Structure 1
């Protein structure tokens, strides 16, 4: 696994945000924020973060999206950032929990902004959660955008990264099971995470299939029935979600109306890009998303 992290959270001139409300599930409390447009019918994008990355890290990209006329909703995944409690021994949650949390966020957005069309933007793990949610709850959003988000299946990686991914994911899952949670803050990967989440992650890495703890949903079949617009963006220099990994995840939604893009240094204007650093250089990417949303229900959505 790559040791690149999201350290060094930038503090850009971000638009003002308001707290829309809280999503609660048992002891878990998730604060939902929005950088709103004046027009309540402006499209809403819900930004689903990567594993171990707090929502505040995305402030530069939120500002970029807001400048494109979009209302941007942000929140922290369970155990991350403002969400409480943190992962620890005895704090249990999994992929299915994150899918259910996202459904609660969309309930809140729908109650506050009922006129606005809704879209999901998922980064890394957040893209997997966005895809799985949309497969299970088809029609809740008008489209899904995946940024630097791919399958963790080890065979979807090139060269020696196949073996590296397989061994790394299984070691992390085994350690999580033994310790009762994953102390990623100590190992420089993934932040603190519940054992159940890391077990789901490692199972998909090993088998390629989404069979989730605590869920009876056939997610592979549900993904195969997705027909909504899907934007996939691979990023130059990204070793955690290379193009082959992005294609494997998107390929599960074989009937989706896919638009495929590759974000390069020349396009972004950045000297270097990677799995996390694109966030600080997302101006051109935010324009792609604006244009994709505008065309989301047009035949030209096909790539």
Structure 2
């Protein structure tokens, strides 16, 4: 693993890690993390992918994890600038990898942003993990019971008092820049999520995406429903796309949930399935 720092828009310094395979890479993979989740969480998965012959990159969005270089009070960032950070990492791994295929594995938020990327044409496939629309009516039942209080009371009050969202202190999501949490709130209160809240410019970017997408929807996800996944997948309106449902019983597990996919107990099942999907993207690309 090689840690490095990349310069994104606005001179933001992004902490990234590159995981090198032993030989020439068969493809490159960028892991886009979930909201409030540091790249540390994906380290075992990234190392395993590298052992399978992939050049892998992970990163922390600006203001998060190793990319937090100052206190978040007064720090300016939103989900568009986080998309710029994603683009920066894609450009860096593409330069390292050369002409091999480049894939994205997006966990939750990491699969919600790729339609906004400037480097959409360089992407050869996206595997979406436990991702979907964040619209509150599409949330899982147990989350739906508290989410309106979260968006209408907790987020605006806590953010106004602190100048950022102090999620770590209150045990919700994690610390987030003010611009990120307030834009995310706006998305989550709109039935069409980001393509609805932001209007035509964002909708048209998603409609311009042509890379294939496979969304892995987890049946015991405590945050995301199958309907929410369908809403997100259909934002990529002109891309080849499908949803695959995964139940814990399919992989001889008691639980997967929203975050369990990246636990190393799933190397021979869910992780191997992901590699099969990446290989499937490549077969389709090479077939006339």
TM-score (norm 1): 0.83
- Aligned residue among 244, 250, 256 for 2:239: 256
Q: Give 1:298 shift.
A: 5.4
Contact 1:40 1:116 survives alignment (8 Å): no
Correspondences of 1:201-216 after superposition (within 5 Å)? 201-207=184-190, 208-210=192-194
Contact 1:150 1:248 survives alignment (8 Å): yes
Go from structure 1 to structure 2 and tell me whether the alpha carbon gap of 1:161 and 1:191 turns closer, same or farther (over 3 Å shift). closer
**How far apart are the structure 2 equivalents of 1:286 and 1:259?**
18
Pairing 1:219–2:163 present = no
CA deviation map 1:191-231 (0-9, x unaligned): 11111111111111111342799x99711122123221001
Aligned to 2:274: 289
Aligned to 1:11: none
Contact 1:147 1:232 survives alignment (8 Å): yes
Contact 2:27 2:97 survives alignment (8 Å): no
Correspondences of 1:84-233 after superposition (within 5 Å)? 84-86=68-70, 88-133=72-117, 136-157=118-139, 161-162=143-144, 164-174=146-156, 175-207=158-190, 208-210=192-194, 218-233=201-216
Contact 1:80 1:86 survives alignment (8 Å): no
**How far apart are the structure 2 equivalents of 1:161 and 1:28?**
33
Contact 1:27 1:85 survives alignment (8 Å): no
The 10-residue stretch of structure 1 (224-233 or 58-67) with the greater mean CA deviation from structure 2: 58-67
Go from structure 1 to structure 2 and tell me whether the alpha carbon gap of 1:241 and 1:299 turns closer, same or farther (over 3 Å shift). same
**How many pairs align?**
281
Q: Give 1:86 shift.
A: 4.8
Contact 2:230 2:243 survives alignment (8 Å): no
Contact 1:169 1:201 survives alignment (8 Å): no
CA deviation map 1:227-266 (0-9, x unaligned): 2100101123212122121111111112221132222223
Contact 2:127 2:277 survives alignment (8 Å): no
TM-score (norm 2): 0.87
- Unpaired runs of at least 5, structure 2: none
SS of alignment partner, residue 281 of structure 2: coil
**How far apart are the structure 2 equivalents of 1:71 and 1:291?**
16
SS of alignment partner, residue 30 of structure 1: strand
Go from structure 1 to structure 2 and tell me whether the alpha carbon gap of 1:172 and 1:227 turns closer, same or farther (over 3 Å shift). farther
Contact 1:241 1:275 survives alignment (8 Å): yes
**How far apart are the structure 2 equivalents of 1:107 and 1:141?**
11
Q: Give 1:32 shift.
A: 1.7
- Unpaired runs of at least 5, structure 1: 1-16
Pairing 1:75–2:20 present = no
**How far apart are the structure 1 equivalents of 2:224 and 2:199?**
28
SS of alignment partner, residue 17 of structure 2: strand
**How far apart are the structure 2 equivalents of 1:126 and 1:246?**
13
Pairing 1:279–2:262 present = yes
Q: Which runs of 4+ in 1 moved over 6 A?
A: none
Contact 1:151 1:246 survives alignment (8 Å): yes
Kindly report the root-mean-square deviation, in angstroms, between the aligned alpha carbons of the 2 structures: 2.6
